Amino acid sequence: MENRNVNAEYDDLPLLHKSGQASLFEYTPGNALVLRADANYIPMDEFQKLFEEIREQVNKTGANKLVFDKRHLRVFHQPSMEWYFVHWKEQMYFRGLRVHRKILPNDPLFVQSVKIAREKLNHLYPQGKFQQMDIQYVQTLSEAFLS
């Protein structure tokens, strides 16, 4: 039932791109892009392709906010997160995409894995551009749009 409610939040958002693992939407009033994980795991090569698509959409739309809805994910993949934070976000910082909202699954182990990985990245990359971004964790899509 939870997944049905998650998907219903997206009914009014224009779909920009869909793969087997995720869907990319646009939220025009907030100048935002929304990536929703649709699978319980996104292989790294697919993950990178999705974020290349987001880069193209940022170039087209000038979006300055990205919401990443991970509620469907069940597997945390550290190398994907590191690539996303250290390489992809670095490039996006210079394109003006500096506001990031994350919606995590209701899974304490996943949440703890994210926390540990963030601490490691903060320690290893103290000068990383992600340190200067507005990154927040929220519970719902509407909360992501309002923050």
Q: Decide: 98 and 132 in contact? Cβ < 8 Å.
A: yes
Q: Within the chain, which residues score under 50 in pLDDT?
A: 1-2
Average pLDDT, the chain: 92
Sorted by where each begins, the domain ranges of the chain are 2-146
The CATH T-level fold of domain 2-146 is: Transcription Regulator spoIIAA (3.30.750)
Per-residue pLDDT reduced to its tens digit, 46-66: 999 999 999 999 999 999 999
Q: What pLDDT is attached to residue 6?
A: 63
Model pLDDT, residue 74: 93
What is the predicted pLDDT for the residue at 30? Answer: 74
pLDDT of residue 1: 39
pLDDT at 115: 94
pLDDT tens digit sequence for 16-30: 999 999 999 999 887
